Amino acid sequence: MSESQLERLELEALQERNELHRSVTELKSQVAQVRHKLDPTNNARKHFLAASIVATAVGFVSGYGFGGLLAP
């Protein structure tokens, strides 16, 4: 191989390496965003009122139903 071909291949390898690094960095940031979005603690804080209302309703309905079974 001639000197110019080696330089061209080295340049292409450098460009591909930089592209790979950029892709990996972008993927890492997307993974961090998804982890933050799916974090149970974060979601519990955001939706605390709705979760407590649903839990209260389920408790009320199940208690009312259980009480209905025991009533004569």
Provide the residue-wise pLDDT of the chain in tens; the chain has 72 residues: 688 898 999 999 999 999 999 999 999 999 999 999 999 888 888 999 999 999 999 999 999 888 888 776
Provide the whole-model pTM. 0.56
Domain membership of residue 62 as a residue range: 40-72
User: In the chain, count of helices (H) and strands (E)?
Assistant: 3, 0
Question: CA 52, CA 50: separation in Å to the nearest integer?
Answer: 5
> Do residues 33 and 45 share a domain?
no
> Do residues 56 and 32 share a domain?
no
> Do residues 34 and 61 share a domain?
no
